[in-house]
Amino acid sequence: MSDSMLAVVKAAPAPGADVRQVAVPSFGPADVLVKVKVASVCGTDLHIYKWDQWAQGRIHPPLIPGHEFCGHVAAIGSEVTTVKEGDFVSAEMHVACGKCYQCRTGEQHICQNVKIIGVDANGAFAEYVVIPETNIWKLDSSIPEEYASILDPLGNAVHTVLAGEIAGRTIAITGCGPIGLFSIAVARASGATKVFAIDVNEHRRKIAEQMKADFVLDPTTQDAFSIVMDQTNGVGVDVVAEMAGKTDAIRLGFQVLRRGGRMSLLGIPSRPVELNFADDIIFKGALVQGINGRVMYKTWYQMTALVAAGKLDLHPVITDRMAMKNFSQGMERLQTGEASKILLYPNGRM
């Protein structure tokens, strides 16, 4: 193993990022060093790249971003017992403190002191990444590498869709970014009987159709509310998976939700949302869930089982594959709105 490696580096508190040689990271006795095979790009990475308000408040350069990946174990710390060199792995990148109330009661996914690798510490847009053994997720070699690299966002979709009943139920997915698109697959595989995918972006709607949503709706040109109500006998959908993080999408979601239905909110609004609480939540008897990350590690078990059983076809979501050195081109593709999930190959071989 060389002492240096290629990595994407957010070097300064300003827009952009470099791809350059840095030192291979050192690791502790409870850590695992992973040689990254494939990493994938998240909207968060674009926020960091563009250096927007959120990034300015959260990121401390220099930082290697990247929190979606798979690879093989290159080396292990002296206390590590559950994986060995060569194992095929991915990882949960939310590192919980293990000591707060939430961690002590099985809710590490909402830990008060969580650190995210790739956001708060150096991440996976590099040839090597260091992961605590607790957070390593060992994979069977039968799992396709492309899928193994996107388990983080797929886990968001699994967590959201399976946060309540879904079999024999109808679902509206508002927002068809990668997680919304994955949610179509998860809902279908889990027995959802009508899946409504709603997005304002034509490229996203096109992929939603490839994902076999039963109804793909453009709320800017179609009366999405009426179409959903017609298709549900005037009752509304049983479940809404909110993936857009936009006020309009959240409002539409509540409107199409049936009385007593479940609203699972994953998309993060960047500003306060004004909502008619009386009609949309209270009189409706709605159940509203804030969804964060992936349940450790229940979501990972369910997700891996679904992937291993061949229940999910996620290929339409993967629109771009490129060598990691071309990271900036990937950022541009993402900004056009034409790309969905972009895979990066640190060693340049796809």
User: Using the rule CB under 8 A, is 8 a contact of a copy of itself?
Assistant: no
Give the C-alpha distances (Å, rounded to integers) separating 148 from 36, 70, 152, 263, 343: 11, 6, 9, 28, 11
165 vs 202, which CB is nearer to a copy of itself?
165
226 vs 276, which CB is nearer to a copy of itself?
276
* Cβ(63)–Cβ(122) below 8 Å: yes
Residue 9: which H helix or E strand, with range?
strand 4-9
Give a three-class secondary structure readout of 137-193. EECCCCCCHHHHCCHHHHHHHHHHHCCCCCCCCEEEEECCCHHHHHHHHHHHHCCCC
Q: By C-alpha distance, which of 345, 283, 348 is closest to 37?
A: 345
User: Using the rule CB under 8 A, is 165 a contact of a copy of itself?
Assistant: yes
CA dist., res. 296 & res. 289, Å (int) = 17
Options 15-23, 57-65, 109-117, 315-323: segment touching a copy of itself (CB under 8 A): 109-117
The label of the residue with tokens 């990148």 reads: 93
User: Using the rule CB under 8 A, is 158 a contact of a copy of itself?
Assistant: yes
User: Using the rule CB under 8 A, is 229 a contact of a copy of itself?
Assistant: no
4 vs 82, which CB is nearer to a copy of itself?
82
- Minimum CB separation of residue 99 from a copy of itself in Å reads 6
CA dist., res. 171 & res. 190, Å (int) = 11
304 is catalytic: no
37 vs 109, which CB is nearer to a copy of itself?
109
User: Using the rule CB under 8 A, is 169 a contact of a copy of itself?
Assistant: yes
Q: Which of 18, 107, 145, 218 binds a copy of itself (CB under 8 A)?
A: 107
307 to 326: interface string for a copy of itself, x by CB under 8 A: -xx-x---------------
Antiparallel, parallel or unpaired: β 31-40 and 128-132: antiparallel
203 is catalytic: no
Three-state secondary-structure class, residue 306: helix
- Minimum CB separation of residue 345 from a copy of itself in Å reads 29
Q: By C-alpha distance, which of 113, 62, 43, 93 is closest to 331?
A: 43
- Minimum CB separation of residue 299 from a copy of itself in Å reads 9
Binding to a copy of itself in span 63-82, by CB under 8 A: 81-82
Report the interface residues with a copy of itself, using CB under 8 A. 81-82, 99, 101-102, 104-107, 109-110, 112, 158, 162, 165-170, 186, 189-191, 193-194, 233, 235, 245, 250, 258-260, 265-270, 272-278, 281-292, 296-298, 301-303, 305-306, 308-309, 311
